[in-house]
Structure 1
Amino acid sequence: MNDVLVGIDIGTTHCKIGLFDVKGCLIDVVRYVNRVYNNGDGYYYDPEEIWQSVEQGLIKVLSSAGRDKLVAIGITSMAETGLLVSTEDGRSYTPFIPWFDMRATEKVRFIQEKIRQLDVFSKTGLRVSYKHGLPKLIWLKDKKGELPLNVKWLSAADYIAFKLTGVMATDYTLAARTFAYDLENNKWNDELISTMGIRVNIFPKVVESGTSIGFLKGEMLSKLRLAGDIPVCICGHDHLCAAFGAGVVTLGTVLDSMGTAETLVGVTPSRRLRETEWNTGFSFGKHVVEGYYFWMGGLPASGGSVEWIRSMMSDPPLNYDDLSELLAHAPQGPTGILYFPYLAGGSSPVSSIPLEGAFVGLKRSHKRHDVAKAILEGAAYEVEYMRQVAEENLNVEMNNIIAVGGGVQNKYWLNIKANVFSRPIKVIAMPEVALMGAAFLAALKTGYFSSVEEVYQGINTETHIVYPDDDLSALYRRQYKRYAQFQKYLKQYYTSI
Structure 2
Amino acid sequence: MYIISIDAGTTNTKVCLYQLPDFQLTEVVKFKTPQIVNGTETNLDSEDLWEKLMLALKKLADIVEDSEEIKHITVSSFGQTIVLQDDKERVIPPTIAWFDPRTKTEAEEVEDCLGDKTLYEITGINSHSNHSLTKLLWIKRHEEGFRRLHTWTCMSGFIVSRLTGVSATDWSLASRTMLYDITKKEWNDSIIAAFNLDITSFPKVVESGMKIAGVRKDISDVTGIKEGISVSISGHDHMAGSVSTGLKQKTEILNSTGTTEGLLLIDEKPNLSDIFREFLISNGCYVMESTYSIYGSMPTAGQSFSWISNLLNKSLGEVAVQCEMLYQEYENSINEMVKRMPVFIPHLRGSGPPIRSTSSKVMIYGLTDQSTDNDLLLSMVAGLSFELKQLKEVYEQYLGSEINRIKVIGPAVKNSLWLQLKADILQAEIIAYDEEEAVAKGAAMLSAYKEGLINSFKEPSVTVYTSKKKSMESLQNFYHDFYLPVYKLKSSLEGQGD
TM over 0.5: yes
Q: Which residue is 1:376 aligned to? A: 381
CA distance in 2, matches of 1:25, 1:212: 22
The within-5 A match list for 1:176-191 is 176-191=175-190
Asked whether the 8 Å contact 1:71–1:443 carries over to 2, the reply is no
- Secondary structure at the residue paired with 1:332? helix
The residue that corresponds to 2:334 in the other structure is 332
The Cα offsets for residues 185-208 of structure 1, whole Å up to 9 and x where unpaired, read as 211111111111222222121111
**Matching of residue 350 in structure 1 with residue 355 in structure 2:** yes
Q: Give secondary structure in 2 for the equivalent of 1:373.
A: helix
Partner of residue 465, structure 1 = 464
Q: Mind listing any 5+ residue stretches in structure 2 that lack a counterpart? A: none
CA contact (8 A) 2:338 2:475 kept: no
Partner of 1:203: 202
Q: What percent identity do the matched residue pairs reach?
A: 26
1:386 aligns with 2:385: no
Contact 2:131 2:176 in 1 (8 A): yes
Q: Secondary structure at the match of 1:437?
A: helix
Range with bigger deviation, 129-138 or 169-178: 129-138
Of 174-183 and 59-68, deviating more is 59-68
Other-structure match for 1:433: 438
Q: Which residue is 1:413 aligned to?
A: 418
| Equivalent position amino acid for 2:338 in 1 | T
Q: Name the counterpart of 2:6.
A: 8
User: Partner of 1:62: helix, strand, or coil?
Assistant: helix
Distance in 2 between the 1:231 and 1:315 partners?
Answer: 44
1:145–1:51 Cα change, 3 Å: closer
In structure 2, the CA distance between the partners of 1:35 and 1:296, relative to structure 1 (3 Å rule), is same
Which stretches in structure 1 are left out of the alignment for 5+ residues? none
Report Cα offsets for 1:134-170 as digits up to 9, x if no partner.
1222222223468447611111111111111111111
| Superposition CA RMSD, Å | 2.8
Within-5 A mapping of 1:8-407: 8-21=6-19, 22-37=21-36, 43-67=42-66, 69-86=69-86, 88-144=87-143, 147-148=146-147, 151-227=150-226, 229-271=228-270, 273-313=272-312, 319-322=319-322, 324-325=324-325, 328=328, 331-333=333-335, 335-336=338-339, 337=341, 338-352=343-357, 354-360=359-365, 367-407=372-412
Name the amino acid aligned to 1:335.
V
Q: SS of the residue aligned with 1:211?
A: coil
Task: State the number of aligned residues.
Answer: 488
1:13 alignment partner AA:
T
AA partner of residue 66 (structure 1): E
**Aligned partners of 2:242, 2:472: CA distance in 1, in Å?**
27
SS at match of 1:103: helix
Letter of the structure 1 residue corresponding to residue 394 of structure 2: V
C-alpha separation in 2, matches of 1:385 and 1:205: 37
SS of the aligned residue for 2:470 comes to: helix
- Rate the CA distance shift 1:200–1:353 in 2: closer, same or farther, 3 A: closer
Cα-to-partner distance string for 1:80-137 (whole Å, 9 max, x where unaligned): 1212223x43332335332133332322222222121111111111122222221222
Q: Secondary structure at the match of 2:172?
A: helix
Distance, in Å, in 2 between the alignment partners of 1:42 and 1:372 is: 28
Residues 144 and 261 (structure 1), Cα distance of their counterparts in 2 relative to 1, 3 Å cut: closer
Report the CA distance shift for 1:489/1:147 in structure 2 as closer, same or farther (over 3 A). closer
State the one-letter code of the partner of 2:31: Y
Distance 1:40 1:490 in 2: 25
CA distance in 2, matches of 1:155, 1:5: 22
- In structure 2, do the counterparts of structure 1 residues 127 and 99 end up closer, same or farther at CA, with 3 Å as the change threshold? same
Aligned residue type for 1:110 = E
Greater shift, 391-400 or 54-63, is seen at 391-400
Is contact 2:93–2:145 with CA below 8 Å preserved after alignment?
Answer: no
Distance 2:111 2:163 in 1: 37
Cα pair 1:184 1:272 within 8 Å, conserved: no
TM-score (norm 1): 0.89
Letter in 2 for 1:495: G
